[in-house]
Structure 1
Amino acid sequence: DDGDFDLCETTSPLRVFGRGDNPASPAPATEGKFLYTAANRLPAVIASHGRNGFGATSVQGTVRPLPPAGTDEAENSDGDTDFVMRTYSRATVGCADDLAEATPLCEFDDIVMWLSPAVLNNRMVMAGRLP
């Protein structure tokens, strides 16, 4: 193991959540903290812990500090099958990664990408690994 990435096997489906506007809210309400399912039942998720490195392990094997509990970055480093992707935000005093629109979102610099089942299936067929 060279420490560049971790490969984790799971029998539970991988899910990615995002934050944004709740389409069920009456107009002209606009939210930015609504948590929605961006993708579900994924074969692979790739997560980078960003520049702050909260929750990461360095190439040398050094474990970086964990992100504050209850934050979206904590969700990306807790070892379960759920991940959060959203836009970058700076560290802010009084922040909360919850649904309260009056408080700002907490620091977030993670990059989360996923592989859809359709893309994986296509690549496996093209590689001659599936009929």
Structure 2
Amino acid sequence: MIQKNKSPGSHGFTLIELAIVLFIVSLLLGGLLMPYATSVEQREREDTAEILEDIKEALYGHALVNGYLPCPDCETGQACAAGTPDDGIEDRNGNLCSVTLSAQNTYTGNLPWATLGVPQFDAWEKPFTYSVTNTFSNDAVPFTLTDTGTIDILDQDAAATARIAQGIPAIVVSHGKDHYVPAQSADQVENYERNANIFGTTNSILTAYSGDNAGEFVFTDYRLLGGNIDYDDMMIWISPFVLKNRMIAAGQLP
């Protein structure tokens, strides 16, 4: 039998060489995947910002047509005096909202997306939180030029913080990519729904809320801490002055 001699340099990879190649490839992939993941999240935030702007216009439109802002849609597990949870339709009990009224005279639940004709979810397929002052959602007693909202927007969750906006009639929040994970910054926890059953079971973070901060939300810049999301919530709110100006122009207010 004739044996073929291998030519010099035709040997295969050694285990060490293969390990080096795999290491280099992993570095290259890691360098590519990180910017890709960042660009995907940025696009998701842009998409969510567009949805939020549509929601804002829909809320103004609802007020112009009906003379009041819609009630929240109850969510499953939330106390609801009347209505069907999670159907996207505002839930009312007479002329009042079905969800429990907070000490700050706000109703909070899911966004009534079907009532408004807007998307149900943000770019991460999560529902929006919607909070509205009771005076502006009462369909029997129209709000007046002197009425003010009871929602305040802060720049951080700390004592004596600056108020970005105050006396707000309504606010809509997307809780971002991390949504309702238990371990979050105090700024994000402040924006949780005021419902102890948000995880399906009682959660100590959420049950710690008191009536004093039930009308406060935090709006600040996107930030990371130790490579993890520290704040990524997004929101829009209804300006009381823009709302009243539009209502006057539409003949809904004197």
Q: What is the TM-score with the length of structure 1 in the denominator? A: 0.59
More RCO (CA 8 Å, sep 6+): 1
Instruction: Using the aligned pairs only, state the percent identity.
Output: 31
Answer yes or no: is the 8 Å Cα contact 1:73–1:108 preserved in 2.
yes
Contact 2:171 2:235 in 1 (8 A): yes
Return the offset for 1:66: 3.7
Using the TM superposition, give the Cα deviation of residue 41 of structure 1 relative to its aligned residue in structure 2, in angstroms: 1.0
Unmatched segments (≥5 aa) in structure 1: 20-33, 55-64, 96-105
State the distance in 2 between where 1:8 and 1:112 align: 11
Cα gap change, 1:113 to 1:40, in 2 (>3 Å): same
Larger strand proportion of the pair: 1
- What is the deviation of 1:8? 4.0
Task: Give the structure 2 partner of residue 122 of structure 1.
Answer: 245
User: 1:71: Cα distance to partner?
Assistant: 1.1
Deviation at 1:90, TM superposition (A): 1.5
Partner of 2:175: 49
In structure 2, the residue matched to 1:13 is 150
**Residue 189 (structure 2) aligns with:** 74
* Number of positions where the alignment pairs a residue of Structure 1 with one of Structure 2: 95
Moved more, 38-47 or 9-18: 9-18
Tell me by how many angstroms 1:111 deviates: 0.9
Cα distance in 1, alignment partners of residues 246 and 183 from structure 2: 35
Shift of 1:45: 1.4
Q: Deviations over 1:20-75 (max 9, x none)?
A: xxxxxxxxxxxxxx831111111111211112212xxxxxxxxxx3453x610000
SS in 1 for 2:222: coil
Give the structure with the higher percent helix. 2
Distance across 1 between alignment mates of 2:153 and 2:165: 5
